[in-house]
Structure 1
Amino acid sequence: MRKKTLKIIGIILVVLSGVIFIFSKTKRITPLSWAHNEVNKSMFFATAINGYDPVAYITVNKAIEGDESYSYKWNDATWFFASEENKNTFKENPEKYTPQYGGFCAFAVSKGFTANSNPNVFELIDGKAYFFADESVKTKWLGSKKENLQLSEKNWN
C-alpha cells in the first residue's frame, strides 16, 4: 500500500511540474535570477512585443499593430512595424525604441521576474515605453513610480 501511494504521489508531482512548466512558458514567466530572454517574444515565432510597432509608442504614444511586410530581425527577435518609415527609424537606433525590460511587464520586473505584457497597457516615462500585464498592475507600479523604477532597473541589470 505504501509503495502504491508513493508511486501515485510521484506521478502527481511529475504531472504538476509539467503543468507549471507549460504555464510559465506560455505566460513568459521566469525569475530574473534564471537566464531569461532580453526581449519579450513569442515562444514559436520569436515575434517581439506581440507584433506591435515599437516606434509608434514613442512617436505617437499609441499601441499600433505592426505588419509582417515591414519586419526586421534584431536581438534574436522579429519586430513588426506599421510602415517602412518606422522600420527604418528603428533600424537606425533600436535601443531608443525598444520598450524597457524588453517589453516584459515592468511590475513583474520590479518583483524580480519576467511576465508577458499587454501591448495596449503601457506608460511613456522620459521618452521610454514601459509595458504592463494589465491596468491594475500598471496603477500599482505607477503609485510608487520612483521606487519601482529603481527596483526594476536593479533587478533587470
Structure 2
Amino acid sequence: MINKFIVLLFLVMCTCGLSQTIDYNTKNGYAVQGYDVVSYFDKTPLEGKEEFSTTFDGAKFKFYNARNLKRFKESPLKYLPKYGGYCAYAVAVNGKKVNINPETYEIRNGNLYLFYNKGRNNTLKFWLNESPEVLRQQADKNWEKIKN
C-alpha cells in the first residue's frame, strides 16, 4: 500500500514538474529571436540556423552550428537567458515583459541578460548607468511574479 502511494506521488510530482515552464520570449517562433544562446558566451551573438535547433522547456532554440547545439544540450541551464529572454531592465524597473534587441546584451556572473534597444532607448546603457546589481535583485523578485 505504501509503495503504491509513493509511486503515485512520484508520478504526480513528475507530471507537475513537466508542465511548469516559464514564459520564454519567442518572437519569430524561437527564443532570443532565433539567435544562438551559446554564441553570446563566445562574445559573438550569431543568428541560429533551423537545421541546428532543439526544444527545451517548451521553447524552441536555434544554433549557429552543430557544436553549439551540442554544448547547449550538454548543459542547457548554463546558456538560458535570464528572465525568459525578455528585457532585463524592463523586468527590473516595471515588472513587465518587453521585447529585446538580440544584439544588445551583457554576460554578468555567467548569466546572459538581454535588453531593448531602439532609438534613444538603449536599456543596456540605463542598466549599466544605474546599479546593475540592485536592478538584478529587483528583476529577480519581479520575475518570480510574472514568469508564467
How far did residue 72 of structure 1 move? 0.3
How far did residue 85 of structure 1 move? 1.0
- Counterpart of 1:152 in structure 2 is 139
Amino acid at match of 1:147: V
SS of aligned partner of 1:114 = coil
Q: Is residue 137 from structure 1 mapped to residue 137 from structure 2 by the alignment?
A: no
CA distance in 2, matches of 1:68, 1:121: 22
Identity %: 36
How far did residue 122 of structure 1 move? 0.3
Amino acid at match of 1:75: D
Q: CA RMSD in A?
A: 1.6
CA distance in 2, matches of 1:155, 1:125: 19
- Counterpart of 1:80 in structure 2 is 62
CA distance in 2, matches of 1:66, 1:97: 14
How far did residue 37 of structure 1 move? 5.1
**Contact map agreement 1:51 1:66 (CA 8 A) in 2:** yes
Q: Is residue 47 from structure 1 mapped to residue 30 from structure 2 by the alignment?
A: yes
CA distance in 1, matches of 2:75, 2:143: 21
CA distance in 1, matches of 2:103, 2:122: 13
- The runs of 5 or more residues in structure 2 that have no matched partner are 1-20
How far did residue 96 of structure 1 move? 0.6
- Counterpart of 1:103 in structure 2 is 85
Q: TM-score, normalised by structure 2?
A: 0.75
- Counterpart of 1:17 in structure 2 is none
The alignment covers a number of residue pairs equal to 119
The higher radius of gyration belongs to 1
Amino acid at match of 2:76: P
1:7-66 deviation line (CA, Å, top 9, x unaligned): xxxxxxxxxxxxxxxxxxxxxxxxxxxxx9521102xx63111000000111x1121000
Residue number among 89, 95, 111 corresponding to 2:71 in the alignment: 89
Displacement over 2 Å in runs of 4+: none
**Contact map agreement 1:46 1:76 (CA 8 A) in 2:** no
- Counterpart of 2:95 in structure 1 is 112
**Contact map agreement 1:71 1:80 (CA 8 A) in 2:** yes
Q: TM-score, normalised by structure 1?
A: 0.71
CA distance in 1, matches of 2:122, 2:74: 35
